[in-house]
């Protein structure tokens, strides 16, 4: 009876989320309601809820999670500092006279913005507003233009410093320790956010490279879809402006990632460095006014509060779910699948991919991953590899029609003349590239684990 209650709890939360109720309060409220029903029916031990204050204090005292508001602050400052506009205009002048040059510029700028901001959706909206009208006016195929923008916008999921990787790294660290304790290992190894950052670098760079190679190939084979722009439409290349637009973001990315790779800073300390660097960049560009700083602070507070409220709600859910015996049910289910760890991982990846259509990455990381990751890690999977695979899977899900979040973001800023079916058609080649990267990372785990081994020696 108790195990059935855990399944009903999960189903009720999914239905409430689909109905549009706020995520954080749905997680906490529905879980407490089921806990009350469990106490009345004798299927839930209320002593489980006594662990809640300690969990909340653990969230408040978690130094790793301090990186979240700092990276969000860094991203919002850069978003409001015209960095993307200056970069896109300068890169378009540099490459626009080549076939597909404007699309390649969008891809490069999208990757830089992903590495600079790490905010999911922000790059899609920004690039959709800035680049899409120009691409359409210059004769670019609407499907190719929208597909390029949507695909590069999701790079913020996998290219560090990514909020997704910060949250996922913290959850994977707890799951890995839990898996080792369940195996009787009382001096557990750890996996950190920094490990996940380094592990995601090679797949992220490879993904951007394949995007660009696809655009170059398409420009050669179907030049009418990605026409070259006449020089008079571009204006002269202003090398000084190009350097001013390109060098500061690159220096900021280099400082944040370089300090982590060199071992000089933890991700939290690097996030503080990034926030300070973003402020200095905004001051140098003369884009930082008191009113804009107030907007940045308010936006940072809103996004951070949302994330931590969802984390609190997810903590209540996991306690109640565990009290109903849900963890044992999932462990039995996954361990009983044919194919061992490989079969279990295939099922989990499929479930996460489908849930990506209806849930945001925060809910999936805080609700789903803590339930399945300890079981998978206890089967012997590498935590670093598993974390990056989940991030790649989420990125693919957010790009896939008909419910991909990136497509909704782009639909909201695309002109009415661009049909939704055109956006769907445009992203298909990029989805195939995503699946290829997933397949390569699955077949050759060294794509993920090699660089952390070189940097950290493990």
pLDDT at 118: 57
pLDDT for residue 87 is more than 80: no
pLDDT for residue 216 is more than 60: yes
CA distance 453 to 451: 5
234 neighbors 97 (Cβ within 8 angstroms): yes
CA distance 260 to 192: 11
Burial of 336 (0-12, 13-18, 19+ CB in 10 A): exposed
Q: Quickly count: other Cβ atoms within 10 Å of residue 15's Cβ.
A: 12
Identify which of 440, 341, 339, 320 has the alpha carbon closest to the alpha carbon of residue 388: 440
pLDDT for residue 267 is more than 70: yes
Q: What are the extents of the domains in the chain?
A: 63-456
Which has the minimum average pLDDT: 184-193, 218-227, 329-338, 341-350?
A: 184-193
Specify the higher pLDDT residue, 353 or 83.
353
pLDDT for residue 436 is more than 80: yes
CA distance 332 to 208: 39
Q: Which residues of 283-309 are buried (b: 16+ CB within 10 A; e: fewer)?
A: eeeebbeeeeeeebeebbeebbeebbb
Specify the higher pLDDT residue, 247 or 387.
387
Identity of the highest mean pLDDT range in 127-141, 184-198, 309-323: 309-323
pLDDT at 434: 93
Q: Is the peptide bond before 402 cis (omega within 30 degrees of 0)?
A: yes
Instruction: Share the mean pLDDT of the chain.
Output: 84
Residues 6 or more apart in contact with residue 458 via CB below 8 angstroms: 452
Sign of CA pseudo-dihedral 250, 251, 254, 257 = negative
Give residue 164's pLDDT band: very low, low, confident or very high (50, 70, 90): confident
CA distance 335 to 281: 51
Burial of 367 (0-12, 13-18, 19+ CB in 10 A): buried
Q: Quickly count: other Cβ atoms within 10 Å of residue 223's Cβ.
A: 12
Maximum CA extent, the chain: 78
pLDDT for residue 158 is more than 80: yes
pLDDT at 457: 67
pLDDT at 139: 83
Phi/psi of residue 41, each to 5°?
A: -95, 0
DSSP string of 104-155, one letter each residue:
HHHHHHHHHHHHHH--TTHHHHHHHHHTHHHHHHTT--HHHHHHHHHHHHGG
Assign 3-class secondary structure to 418-436. CCHHHHHHHHHHHHHHHHH
- For the chain, helix (H) and strand (E) counts, in that order, are 23, 0
Give residue 439's pLDDT band: very low, low, confident or very high (50, 70, 90): very high
DSSP string of 382-424, one letter each residue:
-HHHHHHHHHHHHHHHHHSTTT-HHHHHHHHHS-TTS-HHHHH
121 neighbors 303 (Cβ within 8 angstroms): no
Sign of CA pseudo-dihedral 329, 180, 203, 281 = positive
344 neighbors 374 (Cβ within 8 angstroms): no
202 neighbors 447 (Cβ within 8 angstroms): yes
Average pLDDT estimate for 171-181:
84
CA distance 383 to 190: 9
Query: H or E stretch including 298?
Result: helix 290-323
Residue with tokens 């990751």: 373
CA distance 299 to 310: 17
CA distance 307 to 69: 10
Q: Quickly count: other Cβ atoms within 10 Å of residue 185's Cβ.
A: 11
pLDDT for residue 98 is more than 90: no
pLDDT digits (tens, 9 = 90+) for 104-120: 888 888 887 776 665 65
């Amino acid at each position: 009876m108790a195990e059935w209650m855990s399944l009903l709890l999960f189903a009720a939360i999914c239905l409430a989320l689909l109905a549009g109720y706020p995520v954080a309060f749905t997680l906490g409220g529905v879980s407490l309601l089921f806990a009350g029903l469990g106490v009345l029916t004798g299927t839930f031990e209320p002593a489980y809820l006594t662990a809640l204050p300690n969990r909340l204090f653990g969230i408040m005292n978690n130094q790793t999670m301090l990186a979240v508001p700092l990276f969000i602050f860094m991203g919002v400052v850069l978003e409001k500092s015209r960095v993307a506009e200056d970069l896109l205009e300068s890169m378009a002048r540099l490459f626009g006279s080549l076939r597909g040059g404007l699309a390649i510029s969008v891809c490069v700028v999208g990757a830089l913005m992903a590495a600079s901001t790490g905010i999911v959706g922000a790059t899609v909206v920004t690039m959709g507003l800035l680049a899409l009208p120009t691409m359409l006016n210059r004769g670019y195929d609407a499907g190719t233009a929208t597909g390029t923008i949507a695909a590069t916008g999701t790079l913020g999921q996998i290219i560090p410093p990514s909020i997704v990787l910060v949250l996922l790294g913290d959850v994977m660290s707890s799951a890995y320790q839990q898996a080792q304790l369940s195996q009787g290992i009382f001096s557990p190894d750890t996996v950190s956010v920094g490990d996940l950052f380094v592990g995601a670098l090679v797949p992220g760079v490879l993904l951007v490279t394949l995007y660009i190679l696809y655009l170059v190939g398409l420009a050669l084979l179907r030049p009418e879809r990605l026409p070259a722009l006449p020089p008079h439409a571009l204006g002269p290349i202003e090398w000084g402006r190009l350097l001013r637009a390109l060098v500061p973001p690159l220096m900021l990315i280099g400082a944040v990632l370089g300090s982590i790779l060199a071992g000089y800073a933890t991700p939290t300390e690097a996030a503080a460095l990034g926030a300070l660097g973003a402020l200095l960049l905004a001051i140098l560009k003369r884009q930082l006014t008191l009113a804009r700083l107030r907007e940045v602070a308010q936006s940072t507070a809103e996004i951070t509060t949302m994330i931590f409220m969802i984390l609190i709600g997810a903590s209540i859910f996991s306690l109640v779910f565990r009290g109903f015996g849900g963890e044992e049910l999932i462990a039995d289910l996954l361990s009983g699948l044919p194919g061992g760890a490989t079969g279990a991982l295939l099922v989990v990846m499929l479930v996460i991919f489908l849930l990506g259509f209806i849930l945001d990455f925060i809910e999936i990381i805080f609700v789903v991953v803590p339930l399945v990751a300890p079981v998978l890690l206890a089967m012997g999977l590498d935590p670093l590899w598993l974390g990056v695979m989940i991030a790649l899977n989420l990125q693919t899900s957010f790009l896939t029609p008909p419910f991909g979040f990136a497509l909704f973001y782009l639909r909201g800023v695309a002109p009415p003349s661009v049909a939704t079916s055109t956006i769907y058609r445009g992203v298909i080649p990029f989805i195939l590239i995503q699946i290829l990267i997933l397949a390569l990372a699955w077949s050759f785990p060294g794509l993920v684990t090699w660089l952390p081994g070189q940097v950290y020696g493990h």
